[in-house]
Amino acid sequence: MFRNGLEPWHLLIVAIVVIVLFGSKKLPDTARALGKSMRILKSETKAMKADDVEAEERRDPAAS
């Protein structure tokens, strides 16, 4: 039933709904804010992974 769940015309409908809801003037600001949030999330994820690696090395320095 859902083999071809996301077809091009689905994306077109979603784009039209987004434009109607937010308006064409707010879309660039919204996209910019979303991009900034994604960059912050990515940097925080990298920092957390680095902290985990450092904690593991401190716990068992011979494992490296």
pTM for the structure as a whole: 0.55
CB 32 within 8 A of CB 39: no
Per-position b or e across 17-42, b if 16+ CB within 10 A of its CB: eeeeeeeeeeeeeeeeeeeeeeeeee
CB 55 within 8 A of CB 64: no
Residue extents of the structural domains in the chain: 18-58
Q: In the predicted model, is pLDDT for residue 64 greater than 60?
A: no
* pLDDT tens string 13-34: 998 998 888 888 888 888 899 9
Percent of the chain whose pLDDT exceeds 70: 88
CB 30 within 8 A of CB 22: yes
